[in-house]
Amino acid sequence: MSESAAAPATAGLPLRHPERGFVTDPLGVLQEGHRRNGPVFRMPVDGVETVLVGTWAGLGELFAAERGRLEVLNTPLVHDLFGRALFNLTAEHHGEARRRLRPALSGRALPGYVAPLLEVIGPTVDRWALHGTADLHEQVRRLTGAMSARVLLGISPGEADAARFAAAFEVFVLATGAPPGPARYADRRYWAGRSARRELHALFARRAAQAARDSADGTALAGLVAAFADAPAAAGPLEDHLLALLIAARETTASLLTWCLVELAGHREHAELAAAEARAVAADPGRLVARDALPVLRSVLAESLRLHTPNLLSMREAVCPLTLAGHRIEPGTRVAYSPSAGHFDPEVFPRPRQFRPGRFLAGQANASRLWAFGGGAHACLGRPLAELMALAVMAGALHKGLPTLPAGPPAQITFRPAKAPVDQLPFALESAS
Ligand code: HEM
């Protein structure tokens, strides 16, 4: 090893990059920042000086160094609203809660969720085929809410609890937009959200008791109740974790679904190939969870995750000194990484701005090079379920017809809370004949 590789070459603060254009083209600004400065640079994000970590290798280094040194940066608002939810826990309490949550969300649990998910999806794709929809993104947000309620809480769309859950959840989601600091106390959304949280907790406790009694099928709830029955208080109550799962699932999965369907609408040749797989799924839904089945649908999923990664940034705070790419990061520093890191590297993904799912089919690219679900201590626990939901919705839709965007693709895009079209996006399924 050379001397310069052995010692940090550029100890001290990372270089500063101008944040100009970050609101309209955040990925472009991040990419340019990393092109000029390497894996680590400084930039104000929402007015706060932040160390940005990027590139595939940079994230690998970040995740290797994070334990005990970096904590998820959550605002007082997030702590109030989510209590002892997974992402508000630290150190061994966080690890304990993750261990208890994981089995119900893992690949092994998925076969039990296929039939209930297809039941939830059916009426929505029928409507798309018959009448289309005036706004694809809003529709998939609702569909994601209904799929999550079914799998995580055992609530079917026709039940009285479905409407109760949807109404209280919307009020809770609005509260997450209240000011993050002390000004939240003067915001009506905050107080309405606190009361919605109590309502949701009561609903979860009732459903949990029911699931434990009836050993309900096709829901994660019975397993989660059993996993938390003897959990130490420090691992947080199941009600807090359920609310966190429902929130973590919602905008992210809705974003992924929107972009999968938008890209299928824009690439008829892939849609036709994927439609053949969708017909096979209709005949044998088990294919949705068979590891080597549905290569085309899976390639569309991977390419959409690469090109349209739902989350823009994940925030951390340094709680102990650490070194990243040769720079010493002091405690109290805000650190952020982009789950898109490395997704536009032309050496790994040639013509990175183009939607080319074939790169994953031909083995030229590997989905393990994608950070869309994060990594390290806080890597997404819901990845298997999110991917199943996306595959099931794509297959359900393609079985009814080929996606079209009657008013064209989205003209304006927002990147937060997740990547999504700004304006309404008309969508329909066109009969293949
Ligand atoms: C396409 C859909 C999804 C994407 C792109 C996504 C992405 C992510 C990312 C990037 C993180 C890491 C955040 C960080 O580093 O701070 C994360 C964490 C998490 N995700 Fe997901 N997610 C998705 C769906 C889901 C679903 C469906 C669930 C649950 C059913 C879920 C549950 C969680 C939880 C609980 C965490 C926090 C883990 C922890 O703090 O230990 N996600 N997700």
Ligand 1 centre and the CA of 372: distance in Å? Answer: 9
Q: Which residues pair with 323 in a beta bridge?
A: 328
pLDDT of residue 1: 33
Contact predicate 370/343, CB 8 Å: yes
Query: Which ligand 1 atom sits nearest the alpha carbon of residue 386?
Result: 27
pLDDT of residue 15: 87
How many angstroms separate the CA atoms of 224 and 101, rounded? 7
Task: Encode pLDDT of 335-388 as tens digits.
Answer: 999 999 899 999 999 999 999 999 999 888 988 889 999 999 999 999 999 999
Residue 72: its H or E element: strand 70-72
pLDDT of residue 390: 98
How many angstroms separate the CA atoms of 267 and 70, rounded? 42
Q: Which residues pair with 40 in a beta bridge?
A: 53
pLDDT of residue 7: 40
Task: Report which protein residue has its CA nearest ligand 1's atom 2.
Answer: 253
Task: Say yes or no: CB of residue 386 within 6 Å of ligand 1.
Answer: yes
Q: What average pLDDT does this structure show over 27-39?
A: 94
Task: Say yes or no: CB of residue 388 within 6 Å of ligand 1.
Answer: no
Query: Backbone phi, then psi, for 316, in 5-degree steps?
Result: -135, 165
Task: Say yes or no: CB of residue 172 within 6 Å of ligand 1.
Answer: no
pLDDT of residue 244: 97
> ∠ CA(245), CA(119), CA(112), 5° rounding?
60
Place of tokens 């600004």: 29
Task: Report which protein residue has its CA nearest ligand 1's atom 3.
Answer: 252
Query: Which ligand 1 atom sits nearest the alpha carbon of residue 371?
Result: 10
* Residues in Cβ contact with 428 at an 8 Å cutoff, skipping those fewer than 6 apart: 128, 129, 131, 132, 133, 401, 403, 404, 406
pLDDT bucket at 217, cuts 50 / 70 / 90: confident
Contact predicate 335/59, CB 8 Å: no
Q: Could you tell me how many helices (H) and strands (E) the chain has, helices first?
A: 15, 11
Q: Where is average pLDDT lowest: 5-19, 167-181, 389-403?
A: 5-19
What does the domain layout of the chain look like in residue ranges?
A: 3-430
Task: Encode pLDDT of 406-432 as tens digits.
Answer: 999 999 999 999 999 999 999 999 986
Q: So what's the architecture of 3-430 in CATH?
A: Orthogonal Bundle (1.10)
Q: What average pLDDT does this structure show over 135-150?
A: 97
Task: Say yes or no: CB of residue 254 within 6 Å of ligand 1.
Answer: no
Task: Report which protein residue has its CA nearest ligand 1's atom 14.
Answer: 314
Task: Say yes or no: CB of residue 382 within 6 Å of ligand 1.
Answer: yes
Mean pLDDT of the chain: 94
Of residues 189, 176, 160, 161, the one with CA closest to residue 250: 176
> What tokens were used for 126?
């029928």
Query: Mutate which of 110, 113, 380 to test ligand 1's pocket (most atoms within 8 Å of Cβ)?
Result: 380
Task: Encode pLDDT of 274-287 as tens digits.
Answer: 999 999 999 999 99
Task: Encode pLDDT of 251-300 as tens digits.
Answer: 999 999 999 999 999 999 999 999 999 999 999 999 999 989 999 999 99
Ligand 1 centre and the CA of 401: distance in Å? Answer: 31
Place of tokens 């899976």: 298
pLDDT of residue 373: 97
Ligand 1 centre and the CA of 186: distance in Å? Answer: 30
Task: Encode pLDDT of 153-200 as tens digits.
Answer: 999 999 999 999 999 999 999 999 999 999 999 999 999 999 999 999
The answer on pLDDT for 95 being more than 60 is yes
